[in-house]
Amino acid sequence: MQATAIAHSNIALAKYWGKRDVPGNVPATPSVSVTLSHLHTRTHVMFDPSLNEDSFRLNNSISTGEPLLRVTKLLNEVRQRANLQLCAQVTSENNFPTASGLASSASGFAALAMAACKASRLTLTTQELSRIARRASASAARSLFEGFVSLDTYDNPAAEMLAPASHWPSLSLVVAAVTLAPKVETSTHAMVHTRETSPYYSSWKDDAVSVAQDVRTAILNRDIQQLGEAAECSALRMHACAMSAAPGILYWSAKTLELIHCVYSLRRAGIGAWFTMDAGPHVKIICEQKDTHTIAELVRVHCAYVQIANPGPAAYIT
């Protein structure tokens, strides 16, 4: 009873920030993401009668505490569906920096949901796997799918593919990580705190619907300028809302601002480049494939890690 799955990371172009239902982990805002080539998590799950408890090894070191609890919670759902009592050994590796705000929980929980269901011999649709992954981490619901993916706010949502990777293969993301240190505040906690304390939260939530619609339209029309402008708008409004919590949550570092200004200078020089940021200080630059090397070389001096990615594949069993 064992299986290995690979899931790729994703970056939200329209952000999820806030929960409509905390226990069910239902987003309060619709999100639209691109699944990334090159950045993935590989997870092996083995249910084993000789084990007395679940274990979780991430990048060759044993994980306990909150990360193990989140893994066990997902495994419990799978065990319940499969009518299985066995504990599991979970081994996971990311091929990119972990826990620093580069969406490792998205690819991690997507790979875990797929590998655990396969190992327990459950046959589920990708939608059902996406719901299991969403309950662990909402952004993970999107990593089950290839290309461009939406996640809505209705009850118990699954993510849906908006367009396959082949729809716009020349769209690129330059992932510019400014540090390899762990992020200061988890997104799970930070978005609940934002909802509870920011006077701007309801405006953020209401406005996010039309920004997500602009992102969807831009993707379907392959309009990089509209996509870049809408994605920047979503990121800045999400961060503005987090900053307006009490106490405020500020993920940016001085290097984040340097990179934002690099993007502005690229645009002044006539290169189509737009930024987005998640729950960390890193900047992801949206651009056309032909400009990736120019952009990567420009930002490299500010960064601990740079990776160029394109729309990537769905999660799969190896």
Q: In the complex, which residues of this chain contact ligand DP6 (CB under 6 A)? A: 12, 15-17, 25, 31, 105, 137-139, 187-188, 278-279
Q: Is 125 helix (H, G, I), strand (E, B) or coil?
A: coil
Q: Which one, 17 or 201, has the nearer CB to ligand DP6?
A: 17
CA distance 29 to 16: 5
Q: How far apart are CA 78 and CA 84, in angstroms?
A: 8
Q: Give the nearer residue to ligand DP6 in terms of CB position, either 73 or 222.
A: 73
Task: Work out the widest C-alpha separation in the chain, in whole angstroms.
Answer: 62
Of the two residues 47 and 251, which places its CB atom closer to ligand DP6 in the complex?
251
- In whole angstroms, the minimum distance from the beta carbon of 313 to ligand DP6 comes to 18
The minimum distance between CB 122 and ligand DP6, in angstroms, equals 22
Q: Which is nearer to ligand DP6, 17 or 47 (CB)?
A: 17
Q: Could you tell me the smallest distance in angstroms from the CB atom of residue 308 to ligand DP6?
A: 20
Asked if the peptide bond before residue 247 counts as cis, ω within 30 degrees of 0, the response is yes
- How far is it, in rounded angstroms, from Cα 21 to Cα 4? 31
Rounded to whole angstroms, the Cα distance separating 44 from 4 reads 4
Nearer to ligand DP6, 105 or 172 (CB): 105
Smallest separation, CB 215 to ligand DP6 (Å): 11
Amino acid at 262: C
Strand 19-21 to strand 55-58: parallel, antiparallel, or no bridges (unpaired)?
unpaired
Spatial distance between the Cα atoms of 243 and 245, rounded to a whole number of angstroms = 6
Joined tokens for residue 14: 């329209």
Which residue, chain included where needed, has tokens 């940021």? Answer: 277
**Distance in Å, CB of 187 to ligand DP6, minimum:** 4
In terms of CB distance, is 89 or 197 closer to ligand DP6? 197
What's the closest the beta carbon of residue 110 comes to ligand DP6, in angstroms?
11
| CA dist., res. 108 & res. 269, Å (int) | 38
